[in-house]
Amino acid sequence: MKAHPTDIPLFAEYLKSKDMAENTISNYLGILNTFLSTSPDIDNHEPYMDYLISTAIKKRCVQNVYALINYVKFKFGDDKQTATRIIEVIKERKIRQKDPIKYANKQPLTNEELTRVIEAMKQEKHKIMCYVMYETGLRIGDVFRIRKGSIFWEQIKGRNALKINAQTKGSKERVVWILNEVVAKIVFDFVMVTDYGTDYIFTFDRNKNKEYLKHKLSIASKSLDRGKTARMGGISTIGDTEFWIRKNNYLMFLKDLKSAMIKCNIDRERFSTHSFRRMYARRVWDTFRDIYLLKELLGHSDINTSARYLRTDGQMVIDAIEKLQLGDDTANK
């Protein structure tokens, strides 16, 4: 049995009826789009397993599992036996961990490399967003949600600090500061002279120049891997909600970031938009070695979530093995 052409839009309505977040719906639709592009027999469990195996080392492999389970529930709601059979197999799928040898060379960017990348970005807005993320640990989605009037100067211990009232993941309110006066002035000056026609500081109003935005999105979509664009749920579609406006702005930021990395001869897979937050977490940990402080500075409600940011990368695993087995001198080479 093959999927019906209307499966994706109907699946979208099904997910909305479950009160899922728009970002989750977008990701699930992108995953389903990639899965169905192979024209699988959807009443057979093997194509599902093949897809999960092929994506097992990718970052969002767990989301792939949930997306497929929800699709099976949607598609075979009236055929409980088939749905149960496929879902049981999917749930038994053991997600592989990343191979430390294969990913040994995927090292985080150094501060010097990151500086070069930011300077190579074309859009001034994107550079300012990078400064904000680096100094505060905010997610890129948090930065896109910063409203006008939510950035202002405040005195902290006799020095000027830039205070930002941000709306973060889950509609939580969070306050962050930029105490580096040079960076703070650059950010504030940009905010004072910039207006993108929305209630938000860094969000471009697609309705202000719709044809221009369509052109930019078309270029951005072609520059990204086809699979990545698909997983983003057809992100080039012009939507009417604030979520889609932020999504479109995100794609343009990502395209600028990756183009800058290529220009600097840096592997584009070494850094993503969320890497700013990981770098911030690592700096906090290296400075204070306090997991509870890290939790507060990242705005997490669960300390286990904060701990995930301290996972070692592939190179650190290899260095540790060399140090244990071959001694300090070898590991430092």
Instruction: List pLDDT tens digits, range 233-289.
Output: 343 343 456 777 888 899 999 999 999 999 999 999 899 999 999 999 999 998 998
Name the pLDDT band for 294 (thresholds 50, 70, 90).
very high
Provide the pLDDT for residue 53.
80
The residue with greater pLDDT, 317 or 35, is 35
pLDDT at 134 over 90: yes
In angstroms, the CA 271 to CA 50 distance is 28
Per DSSP, what are the bridge partners of residue 156? 159
Q: What is the pLDDT of residue 237?
A: 40
Nearest Cα to 252, choosing from 217, 205, 209, 212? 217
> Which residue's entry shows tokens 């970002």?
23
Yes or no: say if 277 and 139 are a contact pair by the CB < 8 Å rule. yes
Q: What mean pLDDT is reported for the chain?
A: 82
Above 50 in pLDDT, residue 195? yes
pLDDT of 110 strictly over 80: yes
Tokens of 10: 């109907």
Q: Which of 216, 203, 252 is nearest to 232 (CA)?
A: 252
CATH for the stretch 7-91: 1.10.150.130
Judged by average pLDDT, the poorest of 99-108, 148-157, 292-301 is: 99-108
Q: How many CB atoms lie within 10 A of CB 264?
A: 17
Binning pLDDT at 50, 70 and 90, where does residue 199 land? Answer: confident
Residue corresponding to tokens 């959807």: 42
Amino acid 214: pLDDT: 56
Give 147's DSSP letter.
B
What is the pLDDT, as a whole number, of residue 208? 53
205-243 burial string, b = 16+ CB within 10 Å, else e?
Answer: bbeeeeeebeebbeebbeebeeeebbbbbbbbeebeeee
Cβ–Cβ < 8 Å for 87, 93: no
Q: Above pLDDT 70, what percent of the chain?
A: 79
Of residues 75, 81, 64, the one with CA closest to residue 28: 64
Higher pLDDT, 226 or 57: 57
Element (H, E) at 291: helix 291-298
What does the alpha-carbon distance between residue 327 and residue 330 come to, in Å, rounded to a whole number?
A: 6
User: How is residue 260 written in tokens?
Assistant: 């800058």
Per-residue pLDDT reduced to its tens digit, 10-46: 999 999 998 887 888 888 998 999 999 989 999 999 9
Which of 61 and 226 is assigned the larger pLDDT? Answer: 61
